[in-house]
Structure 1
Amino acid sequence: MGEPDRPSTARMIDFWLGGEHHFPVDVAAARAFEQAYGPCAPVFRALRAFLGRAVRAVADRGVDGFLVFGAGVPTMGNVHEAAPEATVLYTDVDPVTIRLGQRILAGSDRAGYGYGDATDIGTIDPAQLHRFVPGWGRRPVGIVFLGLAAFLDDATLSRTLDELYAAAAPGSCLAIDFDTEELAGYPEALAMMGPSFRMRAPASFRPLLGRWEPTEDGIVPVTHWRPEEPPPALPDAFHGAVAVRGDD
């Protein structure tokens, strides 16, 4: 795969996580963002740690198939590593990221990567969905929806989550994060996020979930969601939750 001429958020995050699947253009963009905001590695490592704890919690409920939207680079503690007994379908809309993900997972029989637009689940290849999330629509599955809510307006996000609720079987779980208003104090960094980026006040998070019911943990800063050790002192950039589909 040739070196890209434009940075990718997915590969920037891989850089911050200490991965190996990024390019100089991504490192330059990551450094520029840090100049405008501050160290990002601890923040994104905390978000990835939340992903791991959330996925393990869902797997402990007996879920053994996961559908991941906006998957980015499938390494560094991603879903198939957090739940090694499960099968996982990673999806994204960026063709470069999809090709990279397919190359990384080429030797895996438990995890696949394909195109999928979270706002239109019909875009997912049915054959891939059947292979890697075989219980979709019939038995509980895990849906991972990280890094996406901030790029959808309220109406689109609510509709998307409701469509996923309707499509998933009762007992399915949704792992989701929301961006807080942390970047409001960093206008240069906020400008780098682009016009579609949406910060939200924590009070707005629960209504957006609609029929999805958060676990008793609630929607909390990601470092405080079932921490396995004292939470680190980090900016309150992301809140996270696991929510469950009821029987209605």
Structure 2
Amino acid sequence: MVEPDQPSTARMIDFWLGGTHHHPVDVAAARAFEQAYGPCAPVFRALRAFLGRAVRAIAATGVDGFLVFGAGVPTMGNVHEVAPDATVLYTDVDPVTIRLGQRILAGSDRAGYGFGDATDIGTVDPALLHRFVPGWGRRPVGVVFLGLAAFLDDDTLARTLDELYTAVAPGSHLAIDFDTEELAAYPQALAMMGPAFRMRPPAAFGPLLGRWQPTRDGIVPVTRWRPEGRPEEVPDAFHGAVAVRSVG
């Protein structure tokens, strides 16, 4: 495999999570961001722990098929690892990340990886969707939408979530996170996120969900969404929720 010459956010997160699917260029970029902000590993481990708790909660409702957007590297507690009885289709828009994911999942009959743009559900390969998320549109599924809201403007995000709501069957669940204004105090780190990055105050999160109804847990800091024991003390960088397409 050719050593990449550009860092990847997906592989940087893998580094922060303690994974093995990253390269020196990713470590260098991760260290540079830490110089501008501070330790990132606890923040991303808290977000990954939220993913695990959310997916297990969704699976406990009887959902056994998941569609994951912006999936990144499919390891270190990603969906198929925390819901081993489910089938999972991971998607991303970065071809390098997709190829890495396909190598990692080669031979799996319960998880696949393909192209998918969250803002256009039609970009997901219907054959992969049928194979790994059987019953799409006819029976409840889980949709994972983490790490994406911060890179979509309000109108695009609201439209995207509404289109997903229409596409899934009643009883389906959405796991989502939002970036708070945490980085406002770190202008150098904020500049590294690029012009598309959008921070939002917590009061703005709920209206963006549109017809999706959050569970009674609400939209809360990710460490406080159904914590297992005492919530971790990490910067309040992400809020998360599980929301439902109502039945009837």
TM-score (norm 2): 0.99
Q: Which sections of structure 2, spanning at least 5 residues, go unmatched?
A: none
- Residue deviations 1:197-216 (CA, integer Å, cap 9, x gap): 00000000000000000000
Aligned to 1:125: 125
- Residue deviations 1:64-85 (CA, integer Å, cap 9, x gap): 0000000000000000001000
- Structure 1 position 232, deviation (Å): 1.4
- Residue deviations 1:179-199 (CA, integer Å, cap 9, x gap): 000000000000000000000
C-alpha distance in 1 between matches for 2:220 and 2:213? 14
The residue type paired with residue 49 of structure 1 is: A
Are residue 191 (structure 1) and residue 201 (structure 2) matched?
Answer: no
The alignment-based identity, stated in percent, is 86
Aligned to 1:115: 115
The residue type paired with residue 185 of structure 2 is: G
- Structure 1 position 247, deviation (Å): 3.1
C-alpha distance in 2 between matches for 1:101 and 1:203? 35
Q: SS of 2:18's equivalent?
A: coil
C-alpha distance in 2 between matches for 1:102 and 1:7? 19
Aligned to 1:180: 180
The residue type paired with residue 171 of structure 1 is: G
Q: SS of 1:157's equivalent?
A: helix
- Structure 1 position 58, deviation (Å): 0.0
Q: Which runs of 4+ in 1 moved over 6 A?
A: none
Are residue 3 (structure 1) and residue 3 (structure 2) matched?
Answer: yes
The residue type paired with residue 121 of structure 2 is: I
C-alpha distance in 2 between matches for 1:206 and 1:232? 24
Aligned to 1:13: 13
C-alpha distance in 2 between matches for 1:204 and 1:64? 31
The residue type paired with residue 178 of structure 2 is: F
C-alpha distance in 1 between matches for 2:224 and 2:247? 28
C-alpha distance in 1 between matches for 2:2 and 2:119? 30
Q: Which sections of structure 1, spanning at least 5 residues, go unmatched?
A: none
Query: How many aligned residue pairs are there?
Result: 248
- Residue deviations 1:117-156 (CA, integer Å, cap 9, x gap): 0000000000000000011100000000000000000000
C-alpha distance in 2 between matches for 1:174 and 1:78? 15
C-alpha distance in 1 between matches for 2:129 and 2:115? 11
The residue type paired with residue 65 of structure 1 is: G
Aligned to 1:163: 163
TM-score (norm 1): 0.99
The residue type paired with residue 84 of structure 2 is: P
Aligned to 1:147: 147
- Structure 1 position 61, deviation (Å): 0.2
